[in-house]
Structure 1
């Protein structure tokens, strides 16, 4: 059984803030099972966006984990990220949008690892 999204988001915010990065909820989605998008602003006009990983990457033995994938291989202009987030909200108003500000680009997420 997966943790409610609202609880996961609260833990994520605490994780970021305990490491010295600012993080906040920009859009509150569905309490129980909303998808989470995380924007990491690098404070130089660029950002990286992380989206939920496809269901095909989940291991049956660990269905409660939340994995993320970067939308682009490197940071892009924040305006591009904002355009993408507007589209995501139009498609699914129940998504959560979290924004983290960190000059080092730390995201504090569990990413899908490339398979050898």
Structure 2
């Protein structure tokens, strides 16, 4: 029996709410499939530091995890992050893109909800 999954839109909405409760800006850059679209996250730490793109993947136990190296280990410019996501969108037109703007690089998926 397949495991129950939260819909992508619900995950996005709850992440935006959690960010708002912390005073952090979170914006949907691209809407995807509301039920099962993959969610990519841009962690934007400002021009001085740059962006990290998180891509969804599964670990050995098939649990959802976030791959920080989607654009490489080091932060990239916002333009490079957007170019990477445009390439991904061509492969998967149903994906979501959520941008989180926080100088400290808050990652909503590294903590318990």
TM-score by length of 2: 0.84
Corresponding residue for residue 61 of structure 2: 59
Question: CA deviation digits over 1:51-75, x for unaligned, max 9?
Answer: 002x3x1536xx5xx4211122121
Moved runs in structure 1, 4+ residues, more than 2 A?
none
Corresponding residue for residue 25 of structure 2: 22
Corresponding residue for residue 35 of structure 1: 38
Q: Distance in 1 between matches of 2:47 and 2:80?
A: 14
Contact kept, 8 Å, 1:4 with 1:31, in 2: the verdict is: yes
Structure 2 residue runs without a partner (length 5+): none
Structure 1 residue runs without a partner (length 5+): 112-116
Aligned residues: 105
